[in-house]
Structure 1
Amino acid sequence: MDKVFKVGFGGGCHWCTEAVFMALNGVEKLEQGFIAPIENTADFSEAVIVHYNAALIALKDLVAIHLDTHRSTENHSMRNKYRSAVYFFKQEDEIVLNGIMTDLQQDFEIPLITSILRFWEFKSSEERFHNYYFSDTEKPFCRTHISPKIRILKEKYAKHVSPQVQ
C-alpha cells in the first residue's frame, strides 16, 4: 500500500500554487489557504498543503516544481502575504528538505530565498476560491498569471503532469 505524505508550499497567490499542484500526477489532495510557521505562529501567508503519493511523485520533484513556478529568488514588497516557503510537518523532514534545497540551488544563478519552516497552523481560504483555475481557465487572472505556470509544468515537468490538464 502506498503511503501518502504531506508538505506545505507558499510563494505566490494560493490560487496559482493550488493550480500547479492540482495539475500533477501523484497529488491526492490539496488544501488551499493560509499557513503560519511555528517560528511565528501569528504570521499567516497564502499557501497550500499538498498530500502526495511518494510512489508516484518524489518530494524533490515537488520542491523543484515549486521553485520553478514562483519567484523563489526574489524578495518583493508582498513577501509577508506571499512568503516563499516549504513547510514540513515532521522534524525529520527538515533535514531532507535542506538537502533537496542545497541540490536544487545548483539550478539557479541567484540564491534561493525560499525558507524551510516547521508547520504550525492552517486556515482554509473561502470555499468559493478553491479550484480557482480549473473551474474556469479563461478568467483574466487565470490566463495572465496561472496559465504561464501550467505551461512551465508541461514544458519542464511533462512526465508529472496529469493527462487531464489541457
Structure 2
Amino acid sequence: MFRTNKIGFGGSCHWCTEAIFQSLKGVIKVSQGWIEPGDHSGGFSEAVIVEFEPDMISIEKLIEIHLHTHSCTSQHSMRSKYRSAVYTFNDDQVIAAVRAIEMLQDEFENPIITKVIPFKAFKLNNQQYLDYYYNNPEKPLCKTFIDPKLKILLSQFSNHVEEKKLIL
C-alpha cells in the first residue's frame, strides 16, 4: 500500500500547473481549480492540489520543480489570479517548504516571491476543464504556454518525468 501526501501549488495558469505535475513519477493525482489561503492574503486563486507518493518524489523536489516552471521571482499584475504559493496541510510541510525555498534561492537571480501559506479551501474546476492539457494538446494555449513549461521539465528534471505521459 502506498503512503500518499498532498500539497498545493499556485503560480501560473492552473492548466499549466496541472500538466506539469501530472507528468511526474510519484504523483498519484492532481486536482485543478482554485485554492483559498488560510492566512488572509487574499481570496481564491488558480492552483492545484498534488497527491504524491513521498517515497517516489519528495516534497522538496516538487517545490523545486514548481519554482523552475513558473515565474517565481516576478511580481506581475496578475499575481492575485496567479498567486505564487506552496499551500501546506501541516506544520511539517511548512518547515520543509520554507527550507526548500531558502535552499533554492541561489538558483535564481532575483528573490523568490513564492509564499508558504496554509491551505484553507479548494474549489475544483468544471469537469470540462480538468486534465486540460492531456485532453487538448493541440489548442493554442497548450502550444504557447504549456509545451514550453513541459520542455523545461524535460530538460531539467527528466529523471522525474513519467515519459509515457508526455505527448510533446
TM-score, shorter chain, exceeding 0.5: yes
Matched length: 166
CA shift in 2, pair 1:103/1:42, >3 Å: closer
1:54 counterpart = 2:49: no
C-alpha offsets along residues 58-106 of structure 1, whole Å, 9 cap, x if unaligned? 1111101100111100001110000000000012221111111110111
Which structure 1 residue ranges, 5 or more long, are not aligned?
Answer: none
Alignment partner of 2:107: what SS?
Answer: coil
Does the CA contact (< 8 Å) of 2:60 and 2:96 recur in 1?
no
Does the CA contact (< 8 Å) of 1:41 and 1:120 recur in 2?
no
Question: What is the CA–CA distance in structure 1 between the aligned matches of 2:42 and 2:31, rounded to whole Å?
Answer: 19
* TM-score for both structures, normalised by structure 1: 0.97
Question: What is the CA–CA distance in structure 2 between the aligned matches of 1:93 and 1:56, rounded to whole Å?
Answer: 17
The ranges of structure 1 where at least 4 consecutive aligned residues each deviate by more than 3 angstroms after the TM superposition are none
Tell me the CA shift for residue 162 of structure 1.
0.5
Question: What is the CA–CA distance in structure 2 between the aligned matches of 1:41 and 1:120, rounded to whole Å?
Answer: 11
Identical-residue share of aligned pairs (%): 45
Tell me the CA shift for residue 42 of structure 1.
6.1
Partner of residue 139, structure 2: 139
Partner of residue 6, structure 2: 6
1:116 maps to amino acid: V
Partner of residue 116, structure 2: 116
Correspondences of 1:1-166 after superposition (within 5 Å): 1-40=1-40, 43-164=43-164, 165-166=166-167
